[in-house]
Chain A
Amino acid sequence: MECVVQGIIETQHVEALEILLQGLCGVHRERLRIHELCLKSGPNLGLVASEVRVLCDLEQPEPTWIVRHIGGAMRGSGAEQISVLVRTMVESKVSKNVLRLFYALGYRLDHELLRVGFAFHFQRGASITVTVSSVNKMLKLHATDEAVPVTPGIQLVEVTAPASSENYSEVAAAVSSFCEYLAPLLHLSKPGTSTGVVPTAAAAAASLMSDAGVTT
Chain B
Amino acid sequence: MPLKWVFHWQPNAGTTVNSQMINEVSQCVESINGVKEGRWKATLTFYKPMFRDQAVPAEYPRDFLGISLPEQPNRYYFIIRSQKIVLEADSSIQMIMEKLQSYKSRVSLTFEGFQYQLGDFQLRVGKVAPSASENLRGIVFEVEYLPLSSMEKSRQILDGFVEIWQEAMSKRSLPGHFMHIEPNFAEFGLSDHYTSQHTAVQYATVMAQLISAVQTAQGVRN
**Alpha-carbon separation in the docked complex, A95 to B86 (Å):** 9
Contact of B61 with A50 in the complex, beta carbons under 8 Å? no
Is A98's CB within 8 Å of the partner chain B?
yes
Contact of A69 with B99 in the complex, beta carbons under 8 Å? yes
**Chain A residues with CB below 8 A from B132, complex form:** none
Interface residues of B in 74-110 (CB under 8 A from A): 78, 80, 83, 85-93, 95-96, 99-103
Q: Mark A126-153, 1 if CB is under 8 A from B, else 0.
A: 0000000000000000000000000000
Given A67-B93, A95-B197, CB of A105 within 8 Å of CB of B61:
yes
Contact of B51 with A48 in the complex, beta carbons under 8 Å? no
Which one, B52-60, B139-147, B202-210, is touching chain A? B52-60
**Chain A residues with CB below 8 A from B93, complex form:** 67, 92, 94
Contact of B87 with A101 in the complex, beta carbons under 8 Å? yes
The size of the chain B interface, using a CB distance under 8 A, is 31
**Chain B residues with CB below 8 A from A91, complex form:** 90, 92
Contact of B50 with A94 in the complex, beta carbons under 8 Å? no
Is B64's CB within 8 Å of the partner chain A?
yes
Interface residues of A in 24-51 (CB under 8 A from B): 41, 44-48, 50
Q: Mark B27-64, 1 if CB is under 8 A from A, else 0.
A: 00000000000000000000001111100101011001
**Chain A residues with CB below 8 A from B50, complex form:** 45-47
**Alpha-carbon separation in the docked complex, A69 to B80 (Å):** 22
**Alpha-carbon separation in the docked complex, A101 to B85 (Å):** 7
Interface size for chain A: under 10, 10 to 19, 20 to 34, or 35 or more residues?
20 to 34
Contact of B53 with A44 in the complex, beta carbons under 8 Å? yes
Contact of B99 with A47 in the complex, beta carbons under 8 Å? no
Residue with the highest number of chain A CB atoms closer than 10 Å, among B53, B78, B80: B78
- Contact partner of B99 (CB less than 8 A), chosen from A71, A95, A104, is A71
Is B119's CB within 8 Å of the partner chain A?
no
Contact of A105 with B90 in the complex, beta carbons under 8 Å? no
Contact of A46 with B189 in the complex, beta carbons under 8 Å? no
Contact of B60 with A106 in the complex, beta carbons under 8 Å? yes
**Chain B residues with CB below 8 A from A44, complex form:** 51-53, 56, 58
Sorted nearest first, the 8 A-B pairs with minimum C-beta distance are: A46-B102, A92-B93, A92-B90, A50-B100, A94-B89, A95-B88, A92-B92, A69-B96
Listed by A's residue number, 9 A-B pairs whose Cβ atoms lie within 8 Å are A45-B49, A67-B89, A90-B95, A92-B96, A94-B87, A94-B88, A101-B85, A104-B61, A105-B64
